[in-house]
Amino acid sequence: MTTIVIVGAPGAGKSTVGRRLARLWGVPFRDSDQMVEAEAGKSVADIFVDEGEASFRSRERDVIARALDDAEGVLALGGGAVLDESTRARLVQAPCVWLRVGVGEAAKRVGLNTSRPLLLGNVRGTLMTLLDERTPLYEEVATWSIDTDGRTADEVVDAVVAAVEAS
């Protein structure tokens, strides 16, 4: 197995589904946000505050590039990783699952999670803006697209497995 990448908006279930897929397939799971935090020695929120979004995106691009080069397994990306053109160019070459989520469902799932620096304030409005901006980018990189609204994590896992196995 090569690396299966999971993309989607905040609240799509990338980490939850990714962990379950990795467990099911018996492969490692990695999360790009956790990788950035481990290298930086601080949280994503602190990187945004201390260094700014551009610094975070640079760190994110680097850890994703290394992850795609170095290992196999399941890799969940932060929701904004697709904003980087070089990351998108790499993702179109990789098996990539886009977990689609609607604004209402995403808002319920993320709630008022202050560890998500781009969602502070008007969560629903911000999610609408993010989805408008990022949906074409998710579409660009996706090998498979899976709807998550109204589905449990296990149902989403089953849908991903079915899509991957059908290819």
Q: Are the C-beta atoms of 113 and 119 separated by less than 8 Å?
A: yes
Average pLDDT over residues 86-111: 85
Distances (CA, A) of 78 to 23, 25, 116: 20, 22, 10
Taking residues 86-105, report their average pLDDT.
91
Q: Which pLDDT value is given to residue 114?
A: 46
- Across the beta sheet with 96-100, the strand order is 29-31, 73-76, 3-8, 96-100, 144-147
> Residue 94, Cβ neighbours under 10 Å: how many?
14
pLDDT tops 70 at residue 98? yes
In this prediction, residue 103 carries a pLDDT of 76
Has residue 113 got a pLDDT over 60?
Answer: no
Check pLDDT > 80 for residue 125: no
Tally of domains within the chain: 1
Q: What range does the domain containing 82 cover?
A: 3-166
The answer to whether residue 109 scores a pLDDT higher than 90 is no
For residue 85, what is the domain's CATH number?
Answer: 3.40.50.300
Residue 3 has pLDDT above 90, yes or no: no
Q: Is the pLDDT of residue 14 over 70?
A: yes
| Radius of gyration of the CA atoms of the chain, in A | 15
Ramachandran sector of residue 47 (left: φ over 0; alpha: ψ -120 to 50; beta: rest)? alpha
Q: What pLDDT shows up at residue 119?
A: 52
Q: How confident is the model at residue 84 (pLDDT cuts 50, 70, 90)?
A: very high
Greatest CA separation for the chain: 45
Tell me, what's the pLDDT at 121? 57
Q: Is the pLDDT of residue 161 over 80?
A: yes
Per the document, the length of the chain is 167
**pLDDT over 90 percentage in the chain:** 68
Average pLDDT, the chain: 88
At residue 120, does pLDDT exceed 70?
no
